[in-house]
Structure 1
Amino acid sequence: MRLLLADNNDSFTRNLEHLLMAATAITPQVAPYAALKDMAPEHYDCIVISPGPGHPREYPDYARFLDSGVPVLGICMGMQIINSHFGGTTSRLPASMGGAHGKQGDILMEGTVRTVARYHSLHCDTVGEGLRITATLREQNPDGPPVVMALQHESRPLMGYQFHPESFLTPNGTWYIEHALRFFRLCQ
């Protein structure tokens, strides 16, 4: 499998690289965001968009990767980039909705409670067309909108996690990579 890890200049990128190697036994090619304009998505079997600073609108070069048909997994900002591409919106996460940096949180993912690492101040406040929510923050304001923790496209091989499977605060982080690869039909 040819695996590309797109680096959005984030301190977690190397942790994500090591998690991908642990989950797949493959060393991904790591490329900075600035190099993507010269890269062809079809040369890869899977693309992982790393976390990163800023706002999804600051990363327009991902559009052709997301429209290529090549499976894409977005982590944190990577999920927000996927959501934005399909018309979803991202805004600052109010403290009342559980904003967290470097804390564990429980999510409800496809009927199972899982503990994950959260390092985000932004969130997807509306979900883009064709995307469905597959995980939400377990403990949240019952009167407010759900805090989206995972998305996947209904007909394209695109998935995103708002949380950080590569953090030591997420038990069994390889499970989340393997889960995405099963969704993409890249492994059993």
Structure 2
Amino acid sequence: MILLIDHYDSFTYNIYQAIAELGEDVEVVRYGQLSLDAIREKNPEAIILSPGPGHPRDVPESIELIRALHRDVPILGICLGQQLLGEAFGGRVTEAPVIRHGKVSELSHNGTDLFAGLKERVPVMRYHSLAIEKASMPDCFDVQAEALDDGTVMAIKHKEYPVYGLQFHPESIGTPEGTDMMARFVELARASRVHMQQADHE
């Protein structure tokens, strides 16, 4: 089961639908409805942190979740979710260079992980006014993609754990390769989960 944390955002159902159409069992839980222990008891294969309004500091339980579970459960943060990852590991989330609401940007990426097999320049849909400040990007993250029009960090990956962030909306029709990216996350999460469980038994 993949657990989707809904930060009270209208895009959450679209993410649910996109993951479910991949044949995955998805459970949506509203932010604040489950304790950390209750989430642990559900033993999800992966966690997706949805977009949402406001600043990451407005949803501190999700920051706590990231810090507590990132070693044990693969995580994908989308939009606000990526900002939460930055905040959880000591980065600063500030106003983006340009506010992007319903705007498509092309990004350049490193061709690995969620971007494996994709063309060099990929159009993506953006809905955000905040972003992780590049200068304060935590050392534990690799920047995997940047917007070509304004240089905003568009994707990150933890250097040690299967923790990924996307500042754009992969579920949007404005991100044509978004379904492929989410399928790659599910594939990578499943492989990582098996590895994590084997390590626990050694």
TM-score by structure 2 length? 0.82
Q: Deviations over 1:93-134 (max 9, x none)?
A: 133xxx311011100121521111011110111212311100
Tell me the CA shift for residue 3 of structure 1: 0.6
Supply the AA of the counterpart residue of 1:11.
Answer: S
Structure 2: tracts of 5 or more residues without a match: 112-119, 193-202
Aligned partner of 2:121 in structure 1 is 113
Q: Does 1:79 align with 2:82?
A: yes
Q: Name the CA shift for 1:184/1:134 in 2 (closer, same or farther; >3 Å).
A: same
What SS does the aligned partner of 1:102 have? Answer: strand
Supply the AA of the counterpart residue of 2:107.
Answer: I
What SS does the aligned partner of 2:32 have? Answer: helix
CA contact (8 A) 2:125 2:169 kept: yes
Q: Deviations over 1:50-95 (max 9, x none)?
A: 0000101112112443232201100000000011100011011133
What SS does the aligned partner of 2:34 have? Answer: helix
Structure 1: tracts of 5 or more residues without a match: 141-145
Q: How far apart, in 2, do the equivalents of 1:30 and 1:73 lie?
A: 14
Structure 1 counterpart of 2:186, from 178, 181, 184: 181
Structure 2 counterpart of 1:172, from 171, 177, 181: 177
Aligned partner of 2:32 in structure 1 is 34
CA contact (8 A) 2:171 2:178 kept: yes
What SS does the aligned partner of 1:93 have? Answer: strand
Q: How far apart, in 2, do the equivalents of 1:70 and 1:6 lie?
A: 14
Tell me the CA shift for residue 179 of structure 1: 2.3
Q: Does 1:136 align with 2:146?
A: yes
Tell me the CA shift for residue 183 of structure 1: 3.6
Determine what percentage of the aligned residue pairs are the same residue.
35
| RMSD, aligned α-carbons | 1.7
Moved more, 32-41 or 152-161: 32-41
Supply the AA of the counterpart residue of 1:130.
Answer: C
Tell me the CA shift for residue 21 of structure 1: 1.0
Aligned partner of 2:197 in structure 1 is none
CA contact (8 A) 1:17 1:27 kept: no
What SS does the aligned partner of 1:47 have? Answer: strand
Aligned partner of 2:14 in structure 1 is 15
CA contact (8 A) 1:87 1:129 kept: no
Supply the AA of the counterpart residue of 1:170.
Answer: T
Aligned partner of 1:60 in structure 2 is 60
CA contact (8 A) 2:146 2:153 kept: yes
TM-score by structure 1 length? 0.87
Q: Name the CA shift for 1:182/1:27 in 2 (closer, same or farther; >3 Å).
A: closer
Moved more, 70-79 or 42-51: 42-51
Q: How far apart, in 1, do the equivalents of 2:40 and 2:167 lie?
A: 23
Aligned partner of 2:198 in structure 1 is none
Q: How far apart, in 1, do the equivalents of 2:97 and 2:145 lie?
A: 19
